[in-house]
């Protein structure tokens, strides 16, 4: 499997010449322009936000984009995810991540480190949008969306009652689907399946399995150790999984150790998940470090799992 490559590094070198950066940014915020993408054909994973609720200068809130056949599909939209998408378009030339081209958002659960940019994705330049957002997620998504409309009420009233040109007065509204386990989406050669995961008191919380003609990908969302996730992930090309450092967690109070054990997957348990599921690539994401370094967390996994594993940073492409 040679699909994994350090694209940001390669593109960073190219951008250094200046010409790629200018060419790549020319289409930003112009969804009617001919799509120009720096990505080769096939399905790609762009890590928009690898963070957690713990503020981190180098990590946006949780968000993973799957780019396939001219479209990008978002899985979670944590704070800062839209800024990372703009960077991916303007600096890396991934035109599919132009915010105005995005039409599909899937939410794993409604913890705010996974949702805070929802209004950004629906609201950015909404008066220039011709393709309103659609969203899929757990029960509660419709109520959350209504709350967003309330937040945007004055903006919508002002922009639609004055002289400002507005392409479609309803373009800020989102087509919401509250999902149940099973196939939740199929179009444009991509299938999205939702499955329940255990995440403490968050019920329901979902993981997603994405299938295209060239790749199978599982995104864990936030989850404790899950037999269902192991079943869904058996032999997939890429498993993007959350994790908490075992060493870091042991420094916490008993309350927080218990809380995290029922809500998240420790490095030791994730190694077991990976040994049993055998993904071709394991991507560590949404890492709760608790003072441990990325290298240390990676070695916690590697001492107990001999497969291919990386720890994701924002804007990594797999």
Q: Can you give the binding site for Zn ion, defined by CB under 5 A? A: 111, 113, 222
Select 52 or 216, whichever has its Cβ closest to Zn ion: 52
What is the DSSP track for 80-135? THHHHHHHHHHTT-BGGG-GGG--EEE-S---GGGTTTHHHHHHTTGGG-SS--EE
- What is the rounded CA–CA span in Å between residue 76 and residue 63? 5
User: Residue 43 or residue 63: which is nearer to Zn ion going by CB?
Assistant: 63
State the nearest-atom distance from the C-beta of 288 to Zn ion, in Å: 9
| DSSP structure class, residue 269 | H
Give the residue with the Cβ less far from Zn ion, 164 or 255.
Answer: 255
Residue 222 or residue 246: which is nearer to Zn ion going by CB? 222
Helices (H) and strands (E) in the chain, counts: 10, 13
Nearer to Zn ion, 2 or 58 (CB): 58
Three-state DSSP state, 75:
strand
- Rounded to a whole number of angstroms, the minimum distance from the CB of residue 284 to Zn ion is 14
Minimum gap (Å) between residue 114 Cβ and Zn ion? 6
Question: What is residue 39's DSSP assignment?
Answer: S
The residue count for the chain: 318
Taking the complex as a whole, how short is the minimal distance between the CB of residue 223 and Zn ion, in angstroms?
Answer: 9
Non-local (6+) Cβ contacts of 81 within 8 A are 48, 49, 60, 61, 62, 63, 74, 117, 120, 121
Structure-block tokens of residue 149: 């409309």
**How near is the Cβ of 214 to Zn ion at its closest, in Å?**
29
Residue closer to Zn ion, measured from CB, 111 or 260: 111
Q: How far is it between the farthest Cα atoms of the chain?
A: 63
Q: How far is the CB of 289 from Zn ion (least distance, A)?
A: 14
Phi, psi of 35 (to 5 degrees): -65, 125
């Amino acid at each position: 499997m040679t699909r994994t490559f350090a694209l940001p590094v390669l593109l960073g070198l190219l951008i250094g010449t200046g010409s790629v950066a200018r060419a790549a940014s020319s289409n930003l915020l112009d969804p009617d322009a001919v799509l120009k993408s720096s990505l080769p054909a096939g399905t790609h994973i762009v890590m928009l936000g690898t963070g957690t609720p713990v503020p981190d200068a180098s990590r946006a809130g949780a968000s993973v984009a799957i780019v396939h056949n001219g479209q990008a599909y978002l899985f979670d939209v944590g704070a800062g995810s839209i800024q990372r998408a703009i960077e991916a378009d303007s600096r890396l030339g991934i035109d599919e991540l132009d915010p105005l081209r995005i039409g599909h958002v899937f939410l794993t659960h409604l913890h705010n480190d996974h949702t805070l940019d929802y209004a950004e994705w629906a609201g950015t330049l909404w008066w220039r949008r011709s393709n309103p957002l659609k969203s899929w997620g757990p029960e509660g998504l419709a109520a959350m969306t209504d709350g967003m409309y309330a937040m945007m009420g004055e903006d919508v009233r002002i922009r639609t009652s004055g002289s400002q040109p507005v392409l479609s007065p309803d373009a800020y509204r989102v087509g919401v689907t509250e999902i149940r386990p099973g196939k939740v989406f199929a179009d444009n050669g991509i299938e999205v399946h939702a499955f329940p995961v255990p995440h403490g008191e968050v019920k329901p919380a979902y993981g997603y399995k994405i299938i295209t003609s060239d790749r199978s990908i599982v995104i864990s969302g936030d989850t404790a150790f899950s037999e269902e996730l192991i079943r869904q992930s058996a032999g997939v090309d890429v498993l993007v999984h959350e994790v908490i450092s075992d060493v870091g967690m042991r420094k916490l109070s008993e309350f927080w150790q218990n809380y995290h054990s029922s809500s998240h997957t420790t490095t030791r348990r994730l190694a077991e998940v990976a040994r049993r599921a055998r993904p071709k690539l394991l991507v560590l994401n949404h890492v709760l470090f608790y003072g441990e370094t990325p290298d240390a967390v990676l070695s916690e996994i590697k001492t107990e799992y001999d497969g291919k594993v990386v720890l994701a940073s924002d804007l990594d492409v797999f």
